[in-house]
Chains A and B, each alone.
Chain A
Amino acid sequence: MAVKVTNKEPYQQAYYPPAPTGFTRYMRTSLIWQGIRFIVINLKMLKLMSKSHH
């Protein structure tokens, strides 16, 4: 028996926040892109730490 399709309920908590696209989700675990992000995040953290010590 075919499942009856109903409209998605609006005005709910889960209705409003942005959802990641397939591309965004792919990039989160893409080894090449994450390798680059790993370097960038490390550099940002080093900069942040160097600015934190007085």
Chain B
Amino acid sequence: MSRVVILGAGIAGHTAARYLNKWIGNRHEIIVVSPNAKWNWIPSNIWVGVGQMTEEEVTFDLAEVYKKTKVKFLQAKGLSINPQGSAGSDKPFISIEYTLPAKAGEQENIEYDYLINATGPKLNFAATEGLGPDHGFTVSVCTAGHALEANKKLQATIERMRAGEHCTVVIGTGHGMCTCQGAAFEYIYNVDHILREAGVRDMARIVWLSNEYELGDFGMGGVHIKRGGYVTNGKTFAESLMVERGIEWITRAHVKKVEAGKIHYETMDGAFHEQEFDFSMLIPPFAGVGLKAFDKAGEDITAQVFAPNGFMKVDADYTPRPYAEWSAKDWPRTYQTPAYKNIFAVGIAFAPPHLISKPMQSANGTPINPTPPRTGMPSATMAKAVAMSIRDMVNGSEKPTHSASMAEMGAACVASTGSHVFKGTAATMTVFPVVPDFEKYPEHGRDLELTTGEIGLAGHWMKYILHHTFIYQAKLKPGWSVLPD
């Protein structure tokens, strides 16, 4: 009997857990380690952040769901990996520290035959002084708890506007190296929608502030889509949507510091600016969660296993090259670590070989470029591929049997721009592949039949159905495995 340990129970970790439970749960042991007691459908945090959903509607208790399965759930955080075992044993293990209140602080070593690192990111608010809800002046929608607090502050700002005060709302990214612009993009339109519903839109100045070179970059270098007899860059549509809603934008910006009511940022030309705000939601940059790795003798081998940003090195080509020489082949396919064939990293936890957007820096040398998005649909796709590979490896295969390169997979993003069953709209975007492949698609790097974007009520219906479908699926309700990931 083999033991598969999964670090993390987000979209990637939970996807791997439910498929491994279905395929090999009866004959092999599956352990999920997550510091969080609850699973969170993060895309719907946007609606929590504007008061249109409750925390309970976007989360559920992990222990209860795993009780229905053969999966053993440990509410704990991973501390370190010993991929070679210890002086006394060749068996690899991880060290964990319980976050379950009854065992809080207790540490334990868990041996494994296969390890999936799906920890997700550390929300690195500390990278920008004054950023974030805990020690700063901005809010976040990265967790359900953050989104709740964001809504509380948004409602307070709405009250001020109702009382006749003009307010400035700033939404975007809180550092030059952020990813997840899509979440902020969706949030700004939902805030606009809520302000209109509250009858105070004319009292608000709404400003988009981001590290994208142009609007619509989304960390993927932007997209080209067919529309109106032209192949047009997504920038055109992103700008159109902003103008239509009366939203201003500032791009190519690295937020350096946030003070109460004031954002200090640097732009690509090297100039420094200030932007005042009454309410601001800025996405933090992501980093690895800080896992360490040790060899058999207890020597620190973290730098061999992880990239400097804390993400785990996998089967990507990490050779530094100029942008013009980047290739789709640089991107990992199996997510297996090169040194340890029984360790895989998926979702945000794996180290990308490089950015997708072209690296840019300010006149002062400050990097201002979005980092690659690898949340949501790509996370689930790679987690399922790794689960299939591990299923086959415990059954005798010598190497991974499935691949899910971001240069060979598509992604869909539905960004709500107002919630109503007949009057709501959403921007629906599909891209294929996520990482442009200029060898296969020389002109634009992507398949223009599958790279699309449109705004409409259909997108809102999709968004609403996806919310319920994915939560149903994640709760392992009857028939979950026939639903698409």
Contact = CB atoms under 8 A, between A and B. Distances in A.
Interface string A22-54: 000001111101110110011011111101111
A11 interface: no
Nearest to B215: A17
Contacts of A13: 243, 248-249
B412 interface: yes
Contacts of B450: 44, 47-48, 51
A3 B236 CA distance: 33
Given A44-B430, A45-B430, A46-B484, A52 B243 contact: no
B402 A54 contact: yes
Contacts of A53: 381, 384-385, 402, 404, 409
A14 interface: yes
Nearest to B247: A14
A38 B425 contact: no
Contact of A48 (B239, B248, B410): B410
B459 A20 contact: no
B403 to A, nearest CB: 5
A54 B456 contact: no
A34 to B, nearest CB: 4
Given A52-B404, A53-B381, A54-B402, A45 B456 contact: no
B2 to A, nearest CB: 24
A19 interface: yes
B410 A51 contact: yes
B462 A38 contact: yes
Contacts of B423: 29
Contacts of A29: 422-423, 425, 456-457
A18 interface: yes
A23 B448 CA distance: 25
A38 B458 contact: yes
Interface in B429-485: 430, 432, 450, 452, 454-459, 461-462, 484-485
B461 A38 contact: yes
Nearest to B333: A54
A49 B410 contact: yes
B242 A17 contact: yes
Nearest to B241: A17
A37 to B, nearest CB: 4
A37 B458 contact: yes
**Looking at A29, A37, A48, A51, which has the most chain B CB atoms within 10 Å of its CB?**
A48
Contacts of A47: 450
Contact of B243 (A19, A37, A51): A19
A54 B461 contact: no
Task: Report, as a range, how many residues of chain A touch the other chain.
Answer: 20 to 34
B52 interface: no
A38 B423 CA distance: 15
Nearest to A54: B403
Contacts of B239: 16-17
A54 B240 CA distance: 37
B244 interface: yes
Nearest to B428: A41
B408 interface: yes
Contact of B458 (A34, A52, A54): A34
A47 B430 CA distance: 11
B142 to A, nearest CB: 25
Contacts of B412: 45, 48
A19 B244 contact: yes
**Looking at A18, A31, A45, which has the most chain B CB atoms within 10 Å of its CB?**
A45
Nearest to B459: A41
A46 B168 CA distance: 41
Nearest to A18: B240
Contacts of A31: 422, 457
Contacts of A38: 458, 461-462
B46 to A, nearest CB: 19
Given A37-B456, A49-B484, A19 B461 contact: no
Contacts of B422: 29, 31
23 contacts: A13-B243, A19-B240, A20-B244, A28-B457, A29-B422, A30-B457, A37-B456, A37-B458, A38-B458, A38-B461, A44-B430, A48-B410, A48-B430, A49-B484, A49-B485, A51-B409, A52-B381, A52-B408, A52-B432, A53-B402, A53-B409, A54-B385, A54-B405
Interface of B: 236, 239-240, 242-244, 248-249, 381, 384-385, 402-405, 408-412, 422-423, 425, 428, 430, 432, 450, 452, 454-459, 461-462, 484-485
The 10 A-B residue pairs whose C-beta atoms are closest, nearest first, are: A52-B409, A17-B239, A48-B410, A38-B458, A37-B458, A34-B457, A17-B240, A34-B458, A28-B456, A14-B243
